[in-house]
Amino acid sequence: MAKQKGMVVIDTENCKGCGLCIANCPTNTLGFSENFNANGYHYSEMKQDTCIACQSCALVCPDVVITVYRLKKEKTV
Amino acid sequence: MKTQIDPNKYEKVFEKTDGLKNVKTHYCPGCGHGVVHRITMEIVKELDIQHKTIGIAPVGCSVFAYYYMNVDMQQAAHGRACAVATGIKRMLPDHYVFTYQGDGDLAAIGTAETIHACSRGENITIIFINNAIYGMTGGQMAPTTILGQKSSTSPEGRNPQRDGMPINMSEIVALLPGTVYVERVAVNKPGRVRKAKKAILKGFKAQALKKGTSFIEVVSNCNTNWKMTPVEANKWIDDVLLKQYPLGVFKDETGL
């Protein structure tokens, strides 16, 4: 398992389930959820801890529901 | 569902800009309009011109752009966004004025207004979303529909003998002496979205130079009326649509 370097937080209620973030994720981190949101869309969610915080998903998301976080680098003494 | 993020461990690298209002858009899932709205408003925030930016909304799918963009907006009659932008820019010359138009608005009913605004060299930015079909009205053939493309009024594909040839607006306006910056970009891949943002940023910066019109054509998708999934539609842009609409800079006299 690759070391997790980032994390995405998805505003699931506004996600329309278009799947563009999933198609553009280079590490296959994202996938469709089995659950529905209030509008009946299968929203996308993180399926595994391989996010590298590349922001590809956020750049192509038409509904701007993705917030990307990057792991802070540990300070070396 | 609210995920707790430890702020000591993670830093935020991307979030929704507050140039966009916090409302849900009415666009279909996967529509490229949302991406172009986002990059336009990110540029407005980055240049810190939110208080003096005026957008002109068109008629078409993006008619409700004024509900989503957190700047002053005016909605124009069908196709007349460039004419309205001309009036606003001449009254408020230190403001940044942009029009946001689709291909039915800019390339069909508003061709005259567009070409004459570019010919006069008005200091406005024209953002032209080209998805090769009339989206809002139900997928009829547009002037930008490519040869052989099926639409609800060309069910066997566009036929050049009967329907004529598609129109390439960027190439046309690049010939006019009034334009200062003309580029065609696409938003179907992350790298292309970055390039599109650079192009629109240059378009806004060109307004400050007062040299002429900046025109940015964005090739976008309309997966609903192309009868494809969003992922297939973005692939189809690469495979088919960009052969008719090659990306690139057609004119750049900004010196930026």
Return d(Cα B179, Cα A9) in angstroms, integer. Answer: 42
Q: How far apart are CA B63 and CA B25, in angstroms?
A: 11
Q: Kindly list the domain boundaries of chain B, sorted by start residue.
A: 33-252
Smallest CA–CA distance, residue B121 to chain A, in Å, is 32
Mutate to test the interface with B, among A14, A20, A49, A57 (most CBs of B within 10 A): A20
Query: So what's the pLDDT on residue A77?
Result: 58
Question: How much is the average pLDDT of B2-27?
Answer: 85
* Mean pLDDT of the B16-28 span: 92
Q: A18: which chain B residues are within 8 Å (Cβ-Cβ)?
A: 29-30, 230
- Count the Cβ atoms, other than its own, within 10 Å of residue A49: 14
- The 10s digit of each residue's pLDDT in B197-223 is 999 999 999 999 899 999 999 999 999
- For residue B255, pLDDT over 60 is answered with yes
- Are A55 and B8 inside 8 Å of each other by CB? no
Question: Cβ contact (<8 Å) for A62 and B32?
Answer: yes
Confidence (pLDDT) at A76: 61
**B26 φ, ψ to 5°?**
-90, 5
Average pLDDT over residues B242-252: 94
Contact A59 B193 (CB under 8 A): yes
Q: Tell me, what's the pLDDT at B146?
A: 94
**Going by C-beta distance under 8 Å and a sequence separation of 6 or more, which residues neighbour residue B169?**
B103, B106, B107, B114, B128, B130, B144, B215, B217
CB contact under 8 A, B13 and A6: yes
pLDDT of residue B78: 93
Mean pLDDT of chain B: 93
Interstrand relation of A66-71 and A42-46 (parallel, antiparallel or unpaired):
unpaired
Q: What fold, for A6-70?
A: Alpha-Beta Plaits (3.30.70)
User: Would the pLDDT of B2 be above 70?
Assistant: no
What is residue B8's predicted lDDT score, i.e. its pLDDT? Answer: 80
Model confidence at B6, pLDDT cuts 50, 70, 90, reads: confident
Query: B33-252 belongs to which homologous superfamily?
Result: Thiamin diphosphate (ThDP)-binding fold, Pyr/PP domains (3.40.50.970)
Cβ A48 vs Cβ A2: under 8 Å: no
pLDDT of residue B3: 63
Interface test with A, best of B14, B194, B224 (most A CBs within 10 A): B14
pLDDT in tens, chain A (77 residues): 557 788 899 999 999 999 999 999 999 999 999 999 999 999 999 998 889 999 999 999 999 999 999 988 776 65
Q: Are A42 and A35 in contact (CB under 8 A)?
A: yes
Residue B180 has pLDDT above 80, yes or no: yes
Give residue limits of the domains in chain A. Answer: 6-70
Tokens of A50: 């391989």
Task: Encode pLDDT of B77-131 as tens digits.
Answer: 999 999 999 999 999 999 999 999 999 999 999 999 999 999 999 999 999 999 9
Of A9, A20, A58, the CB nearest to B30: A20
- Chain segment B111-126, per-residue pLDDT in tens: 999 999 999 999 999 9
pLDDT digits (tens, 9 = 90+) for B145-174: 999 999 999 999 999 999 999 999 999 999
